[in-house]
Structure 1
Amino acid sequence: MPIYNKRFTLSALSAAVISAASAGTYAQETGTSALEEITVTGIRQSLTNAMDVKRDSAGVVDAISAEDIGKFPDTNLAESLQRITGVSIDRSNNEGNKVTVRGFGPNFNLVTLNGRQMPNSSALQSEGINRSFKFAEISAESVSGVEVFKTGKADIYSGGIGSTINIKTARPFDYDGFVASASVKGVMDTSVEKGDTVTPEIASMVSSTFFEDKLGVLVAVSHAVRDSRSESVSTQAWVPNYGAADTSAIDRSKNPEATYWAPWTFDVDVADHQRERQNAQLVVQFAPVDNVTATLDYTASRYDEDISMNRTSVWFDSSTGVTDSNGTVINPSVLNDELNFWAWNYQFVTENDSVGLNVEWDATESLSFGLDVHDSTSHSQPGGIPAETIANTRNPGKLVDITADFSSGSGLPGISFDDSALAGGAFAPENIVSDLFQERGLEIENQIKQYQLDGTWENLDDGALKTIKFGIASTDYKVDSYDSQSFAFVDLGDLASLGIDFEQLGDFGDQIGSNAGLFPLLADYEASDFIEAVKASGQYFEATPTFNKVEEETLAAFVTADFETEFNGYPVRLSTGLRFEDTEVVGTSIQNGILGLSYWHDEELREVNDDTPSADTLEGSYTRFLPNLDASVELSEELVARASYSRTLSRADISAMFPSTSLNVSRPGGPFNASQGNPGLLPITSDNFDLSVEYYYDEGSYASLGYFKKYVENFIGATFEDRVITDVNGNPITDPSVNPRPGCPDASGANPACLGNASDPVVTWNVATPGNLEDAEVYGWELAVQHMFGDTGFGAIFNATIVDGDVEYDVYDNENVFALTGMSDSANLIGFYEKDAFQARLAYNWRDDFLLATRQSQIGGQPVFNEAYGQWDLNASYDVTEDISVFVEGLNITEETIRRHGRFANQLVSAQQYGARYNIGVRAKF
């Protein structure tokens, strides 16, 4: 049987380059002028290039290529990645932010920039401190391509079980001489109520080479502003066995312990966002001699987001109600309570910087060496800027009766209240008093230093062995965090100076359901004004901060080998490798010792600390071998079969390794929740098997079917232990609210009698500690079809991923300690047209319901499920000239909404709407 050497899938771009090279040779031989090189761009070319990467790669790799200089398929990297088979995204403020690959969420995927691991920091305390990269911080205009490695390879950095995603940016030696591009667009967000209706996005890139192409310089900058509004109806948590409930309707065959869940709150939120992002990149390349190329690059991003949010809310303290058959309290009711009017100011600031040097040396015709070093940092809340400022006002005297309706598993729940005991009603300014303030700050600095020295030997003679690559690498991963929280109940007297106002619901929530059953008015005032009033009154309070640090050092060595041979006349390619890693972890926490709990308020027990900081240090270490083997067989010119095995790993979240013990929630009567980190956590490892067949039947057209299975060990989950926690003197912490002494509670903190002592009941804390608990299997199918309809200009893409495993969350199990977040089926349907000067693409992305988190607000052990979601996006462009085009982009054009629930559909966690977003602009290249 013949060996198939012909590749008719040669891309048009490659053909153009070959034609230009041939023309240049012919010109030299004949003395005539060379033909002009033609570079083919656009949707079809981008898809063809990505297809070629998929076909020619060892292992399972998918890719996205820029459609032209400065033109990535979508304005957001995550939103482009979701078009790839097996990739789903998480959205923040209706913008792609993090990715899930083959059911493994953001923390299980490693993101690199030009092959280098990128740091991450986030001041949002609910996220914890993790390693997942936020794509919203990077402009797409400077990206030339993205590779998604779904199988492991020994010569790339470890850290991704789901995938390793490599973002490639442009280099001056990628281009021939001078090139430049620029784009200007206006962003029109239909949700805007406060802010600018149209905001700017500007991006430009200039690249040139000098001194006979021995020196190249590239500069890329971008600036983007977006104003938007989000509207939400939510609950902070569904608490098991909270309050009192009639449980006679519970189906004991499913819920044998008759556990019931009651909502902690009922919240209606309006949030106005202003986001500003700057990106910059400077790349200098120098090739003093033919066999040496040095690249020095600096990449920076600045991300600022300000959010002003108001919430009208009810706390269901000691509620009563009736459950449905699952155990959900469907009509929680509280008598003699109050409405709460909250205000939030979020200020998120993140600064990212990366400096890198790469040197490539072709020592001989067959032997080359490379050195790559970089120092990258991500710094959130520099200078300790508070990330969250929170204020609350409320009705006095607890004279309002409140009942909610959670009977429906779709749409919005309802709330009703009787405020007749308050003359003028609950929303009258004279019936509103100050309640509390809170400030939260989480300053994080994440620094990654990496060094890699590698070599490649290429066999210039005949033989199956083609290349050997070898190298050593070092990764120094450091995280420093400064955690501060201030919380106090205050009495500001007359609140007229705050300007508290109320607005009608209007069309609030009109996309997520009828608002007829919600509060009639929404509060409107600024938390920052409240804080200023607190400071002016002398009641401002700053809590004792906690310092946490983790340093993780990994030394690695690797070797890979590539073979090309034949079996029964079929071309066969093999790639195998082995990576060895040795990792040491040191975690340190510095905090003031705990003196005890003070009975501060009838709803608060406050932690009281001494003035002497002390340090806790814990250590851990491990070694791992990570092999991989990839094989592909060309069964014909069109048909490729592929099989792969690899072992990959993901490391624990940083916040899971802080050794300090934190008192998370302590309220009179409970709950009493605490947590402690574990630097000794082992990495999660996965043995991955892939089988696929790919049919490349025409230029730019193919179909593929793949099966994958992952055997995962050491999944990290929460272990819970009921235990006593001691104070700085070694005595058990006690509860002073059970038998309060005279003068308690005391919100001034001046009464020493309100501090717990040995005569008070000892508190038993529910302490959560992360541990390596579970092994599991995850498996699934991937199907993709990409088809070009000849020369008509039309094309279509369909792909789908079905993923499953023994890692699902059992909603009736109250002892769930582990479940895989992010696992869900997904699908894409894309239609496009490209002819002459016109391009258009319509894309639908769908993701099935999935487990988003195993924690609801401040309550651990309670799940959050994201319901199935589908979104339509549209973009179109017209080339006015060869170098100038105009375009329009529409995101979420059907204004889809996001709904999340707890264990059951009627346990609403949040229902959110954001509206559609449209961009109109012009792009030019030179």
Structure 2
Amino acid sequence: MFNQRIFKTSLLAVCVGQALAGVSVHAVEAEGQAAAENMEVIEVRGIRRSVEASMNTKRFANAVVDAVTAEDIGKFPDKNIGDALQRISGVSVDRQYGEVSGVTIRGTAPEHTRILLNGQTVASTSWYDLGPATRTFNMELLSAEQVAGVEVYKTPEASMEEGALGGTVNLKTRKPLDLDAHTYQVSGELSQSSLYDDTKPSYSFLGSWKDDDSKWGILGAYSVEEIVDGRHVLESLSGYYEYFPKNTGTGQESTVGAWGIGSQAFKAERERTSSQVTLQFAPTESLDFTLDYFAFELDNPHVNHNFLTIGARGAGASDVVNNSKGGTEKATIKPGYASIIYNPVVRNAVNMQSDVLNLSGKYSGDTFELSGVIGRSTSEGGTQGGASSWWIPATDDGDRIGDPAFPNGQGGTDGGFTYDATGPYQVWLTSLDATDASQLKFAQEANYETTVQDHDVTYAQLDFSLPLDGDFFNKLEAGVKYNTSDFERVAFNRNPKEVIGFVPNGNFSNWSGGVFNGLHSQSSGHTLNSYAYLDTDKWWAFISDKYAKGELVEVANFGNTFTVSEDMLALYVQTDFSGENFRGNMGLRYIDTDQTSSGYTRNGAAVSPFEEDASYDNWLPSINFAYDLSDDLILRAGASSVMSRVNYSDLNPGLAIEANFGSASGGNPFLKPYEADQADLGLEWYFTESSMASAAMFYKDISNMVYSTQTVEYVQGCGPTEPEWNKCRVTKPQSGGDGEVLGVELQLQHNFDNGFGFISNYTYVDSETVTPGGDTQMVPGVSENTFNTTVFFENDYISTRVAYNWRSEYIGVGSVQNVLNDSYQQVDASIIWHAMENLDISLEGVNLTNEVIQSYDVNYGLTQNTIEFGSRYYLGAAYRF
């Protein structure tokens, strides 16, 4: 029987030899095709083909590379790119709203993973107004249907763009000259989440054409994906601190906990749109041009209902039980004014979009190759407009917060409650019935932040490659790349015109749309799982009229308005080497970065713009080495220096104030990039054409780690009243911490002759960071243990897959305080029926067991969040013609 593995190895050797001899790539491909036509080639389809293609990418790479390959047009193995990446050893993912939003590679936080599209940066913004402005491309934007494959580089090469501390993810799309002349596919799908009873449609199209001589080609793709999604959360708000001191007279312990506890029901109606147009022109075998245009957009209008019990607004506490860390596990809060608040937030203008225009060209001469890329990517995003109202017990004093009829303060009688913070938050209301809308009234249309983000990236790159005739060095590469990045975030605070009578008929019974039942179904105990909720359509019509009349006005929030501009110049040189049974590359990349951070400073009522300049450079050497111990056994080693720039929001020179919470946050424009020296050693055994076992060890020595520090100081306007301004909790980043990561990756995959197969991997990471204050903790976002396995079966009629992933506990990323997340597991499954030669019917399920994410505060050992995403189901059909 024809051995496909030997054929592929031989073809690779032919390509390398011909390249060294100066023969064009197109000529080599033609010879390889002619040779293949005279051989018995076994065509592998479906999941098995995907597994083999991914494995061969890993096997023949010089660096440590893993891959996920689409089985066919529009048949990427997962609903989300991030879901597919977690099947790779050394990779774990971060979920915020059901879908994967960040990727952790080899013991580093998600923002230190570099995500590229066809090797280039994609401008990115976010829709979440309370989240940090990061550099990573938001995977919620990209439909998996358009992706042909994903490569994960765990060790860098000098020719690759810098910026990854953990690894680089390269998303690869299709080109028309690589496909058959007439390739078309249409697909449709229905989706539903278990949290909400709404069914939404999705559809996609891909078409590709080329002429008979394969000189001209055009590809177009378009997809629209809709889903009603969300999450149910039992959460703490605004950090942990002491809000009632110890009473020496009564012996009552101090009360240390979160500002408030919330029972949240978040619902979003997402629509994701992706477009691609690719033109390819190859007038000769040695010349090739490609023009790509991509457009991605996510509309995410949503409503966040939150019933809050606020200990910090109570009149005192009794029956306080503290743990050994001084955190309050249980307490009864005495009623105070607005110590219970129902806070529905309606966000209708929530959007983020990115586009990419990219022109690349390559000329393969007799003795050299020259290639270049120029492009631009822009992104806009943010959360604009909306409504955020506070409804409080109807028996609380006054018609609104700060009612002038109560100059000595306002009080309440029905805002008392008892809470338990030892597990998922449990709350017992003293007298209020949360399901009775008549027991609540309007208090204020709250101040909140609107953000508008813009990101503009331009780049120009020139690469030169020269074959060498030496016995050791066989290719020399050199190149230059110039990048510019301009990120701007403009923030507004809405200051409603607080007048009595803002809301006619202010009792909540006039505005309620019903009662939630069955929230937090996966959390045991006395959870606050039922309460009356707002009729959001009726309320939004009312609020829109207030905007039109000028009674709701947005004013600039200068403290969270900033710009970060960067000019980056990179030079590199790299050489490939090979000899008997070994190959590899070595190189050096130099990067010079000039950075300007602009913001605003406040002096009393005066606001003045200012900017800070910073610059730094980095020398990044790298070497990758592969040795063939036998035909099937490869030893790999690598060493390199890497860097990763800090988040844009960490460079904000201003100070953003949250007056309602008595807190403020800012950045530090002089933060240096993260840096790391790393080493890698691995062994790979390819024991059949589609099976392998591998083990690898890796080590990272990280410096310039960034930490959030919190101080209590005087900040004008920080707090509901002036006497509280000197108690403002100010959070800012600082660098100087060090960290170490030591890990082991194990991978095993095998295809059986009966149609069954599996892919499994396990990763152990021992990560440790030392803060500038000398404290030791795990690297944020990193689990010590992760395990993933996928079991599949396929024949001529069906293709099935069950995927399981698990990660051990990890420190939360981007939290106000250090948060420890419990271990998390998830089960996904799919079945595809090949109903006709070109027609597939599919059924897929994500998070079938409706797992939750449980987190705890590290400092005080108290509950932080309990997040339930629900299960998602998809029924689809795809036709190829």
Q: TM-score, normalised by structure 2?
A: 0.88
Letter of the 1:852 counterpart:
G
Letter of the 2:517 counterpart:
G
- The Cα of 1:365 is off from its aligned counterpart by 2.0
Aligned to 1:284: 279
Letter of the 2:356 counterpart:
S
CA contact (8 A) 2:89 2:746 kept: yes
Distance in 1 (CA, whole Å) between partners of 2:724 and 2:107 is: 46
Aligned to 1:834: 794
Alignment equivalent of 2:128, drawn from 124, 130, 143: 124
Post-superposition Cα deviations, 1:799-857, rounded to whole Å, max 9, x if no partner, equal 01111122289xxx9996986311102110211112223211111011111111353xx
Aligned to 2:25: none
Q: 1:505 to 1:339 in 2, by over 3 A?
A: same
Aligned to 1:865: 820
CA contact (8 A) 1:301 1:353 kept: yes
Alignment equivalent of 2:841, drawn from 855, 874, 886: 886
Aligned to 1:769: 732
Aligned to 1:390: 388
Aligned residues: 833
Q: 1:520 to 1:682 in 2, by over 3 A?
A: closer
Instruction: Show the 5 A alignment for 1:87-236.
Output: 87-193=91-197, 197-210=198-211, 212-236=213-237
CA contact (8 A) 1:129 1:655 kept: yes
When structure 1 is superposed on structure 2, of 906-915 and 36-45 the one drifting more is 36-45
Q: 1:821 to 1:387 in 2, by over 3 A?
A: farther
Post-superposition Cα deviations, 1:378-407, rounded to whole Å, max 9, x if no partner, equal 1114xxx61653111112231125233325
- The Cα of 1:521 is off from its aligned counterpart by 2.5
Aligned to 2:569: 555
Letter of the 1:650 counterpart:
S
Distance in 2 (CA, whole Å) between partners of 1:247 and 1:48 is: 71
Q: 1:414 to 1:14 in 2, by over 3 A?
A: farther
- The Cα of 1:315 is off from its aligned counterpart by 1.3
CA contact (8 A) 2:435 2:515 kept: no
Q: 1:45 to 1:262 in 2, by over 3 A?
A: same
Distance in 2 (CA, whole Å) between partners of 1:83 and 1:734 is: 48
Aligned to 1:586: 596
2:811 is the alignment partner of 1:846:
no
Aligned to 1:342: 343
Instruction: Show the 5 A alignment for 1:149-548.
Output: 149-193=153-197, 197-210=198-211, 212-245=213-246, 261-316=256-311, 317-318=313-314, 319-320=316-317, 321-337=320-336, 338-346=339-347, 347-362=349-364, 364-381=365-382, 386=384, 389-395=387-393, 396-397=396-397, 398-406=412-420, 408-409=422-423, 411-419=424-432, 427-429=436-438, 431-459=440-468, 461=469, 463-488=471-496, 491=500, 492=502, 494-495=505-506, 499-501=510-512, 503-514=514-525, 516-518=526-528, 520-526=530-536, 528-529=540-541, 531-532=543-544, 534-535=546-547, 539-546=551-558, 547-548=561-562
- The Cα of 1:186 is off from its aligned counterpart by 1.2
Aligned to 2:855: 900
Letter of the 2:441 counterpart:
I
When structure 1 is superposed on structure 2, of 294-303 and 912-921 the one drifting more is 912-921
Q: 1:98 to 1:184 in 2, by over 3 A?
A: same
Q: 1:625 to 1:498 in 2, by over 3 A?
A: farther
Distance in 1 (CA, whole Å) between partners of 2:513 and 2:374 is: 56
Distance in 1 (CA, whole Å) between partners of 2:209 and 2:793 is: 33
Distance in 2 (CA, whole Å) between partners of 1:105 and 1:629 is: 24
Post-superposition Cα deviations, 1:60-89, rounded to whole Å, max 9, x if no partner, equal 110011101221111211101111111111
Distance in 2 (CA, whole Å) between partners of 1:564 and 1:637 is: 16
- The Cα of 1:94 is off from its aligned counterpart by 1.2
2:767 is the alignment partner of 1:805:
yes
Aligned to 1:919: 874
- The Cα of 1:494 is off from its aligned counterpart by 2.4
Post-superposition Cα deviations, 1:784-805, rounded to whole Å, max 9, x if no partner, equal 000112x111111210111112
Aligned to 2:407: none
- The Cα of 1:498 is off from its aligned counterpart by 8.3
- The Cα of 1:116 is off from its aligned counterpart by 0.1
- Provide the alpha-carbon RMSD of the alignment: 3.3
Letter of the 2:671 counterpart:
L
Letter of the 2:190 counterpart:
G
When structure 1 is superposed on structure 2, of 541-550 and 816-825 the one drifting more is 816-825
CA contact (8 A) 2:262 2:308 kept: yes
- The Cα of 1:153 is off from its aligned counterpart by 1.3
Q: 1:735 to 1:627 in 2, by over 3 A?
A: closer
Distance in 1 (CA, whole Å) between partners of 2:664 and 2:776 is: 16
Aligned to 2:678: 688
Q: 1:657 to 1:147 in 2, by over 3 A?
A: same
Distance in 2 (CA, whole Å) between partners of 1:624 and 1:313 is: 48
- The Cα of 1:57 is off from its aligned counterpart by 0.9
Secondary structure at the aligned position of 2:618 is classed as strand
- The Cα of 1:696 is off from its aligned counterpart by 0.9
When structure 1 is superposed on structure 2, of 621-630 and 517-526 the one drifting more is 517-526
- The Cα of 1:513 is off from its aligned counterpart by 2.3
Q: 1:465 to 1:413 in 2, by over 3 A?
A: same
- The Cα of 1:921 is off from its aligned counterpart by 1.3
Distance in 2 (CA, whole Å) between partners of 1:453 and 1:627 is: 20
- The Cα of 1:471 is off from its aligned counterpart by 0.4
2:67 is the alignment partner of 1:67:
no
CA contact (8 A) 2:343 2:391 kept: yes
Distance in 2 (CA, whole Å) between partners of 1:413 and 1:866 is: 19
Distance in 2 (CA, whole Å) between partners of 1:189 and 1:736 is: 39
Distance in 2 (CA, whole Å) between partners of 1:307 and 1:218 is: 34
Ranges in structure 1 where 5+ consecutive residues have no aligned partner? 28-33, 251-257, 596-608, 726-732, 738-744, 746-755
Secondary structure at the aligned position of 1:145 is classed as strand
- The Cα of 1:43 is off from its aligned counterpart by 0.6
2:44 is the alignment partner of 1:40:
yes
Ranges in structure 2 where 5+ consecutive residues have no aligned partner? 16-27, 398-411
Secondary structure at the aligned position of 2:145 is classed as coil
Aligned to 1:821: 780
Distance in 1 (CA, whole Å) between partners of 2:553 and 2:189 is: 45
Distance in 2 (CA, whole Å) between partners of 1:359 and 1:922 is: 37
Secondary structure at the aligned position of 2:649 is classed as helix
Aligned to 1:730: none
Q: 1:7 to 1:42 in 2, by over 3 A?
A: closer
Distance in 1 (CA, whole Å) between partners of 2:157 and 2:187 is: 37
Distance in 2 (CA, whole Å) between partners of 1:83 and 1:470 is: 34
When structure 1 is superposed on structure 2, of 525-534 and 166-175 the one drifting more is 525-534
Aligned to 2:403: none
Post-superposition Cα deviations, 1:520-567, rounded to whole Å, max 9, x if no partner, equal 52322336356347558864343334342111111110011011113x
Q: 1:807 to 1:247 in 2, by over 3 A?
A: farther
Distance in 1 (CA, whole Å) between partners of 2:386 and 2:643 is: 34
Q: TM-score, normalised by structure 1?
A: 0.84
Post-superposition Cα deviations, 1:308-354, rounded to whole Å, max 9, x if no partner, equal 22222221125422212232212232223343121111242012111
Q: 1:502 to 1:698 in 2, by over 3 A?
A: same
Aligned to 2:402: none
CA contact (8 A) 2:245 2:255 kept: no
Secondary structure at the aligned position of 2:325 is classed as coil
CA contact (8 A) 2:659 2:718 kept: no
Letter of the 2:330 counterpart:
N
Aligned to 1:80: 84
- The Cα of 1:490 is off from its aligned counterpart by 5.1
CA contact (8 A) 1:96 1:136 kept: yes
- The Cα of 1:425 is off from its aligned counterpart by 8.9
CA contact (8 A) 2:94 2:104 kept: yes
Secondary structure at the aligned position of 2:196 is classed as coil
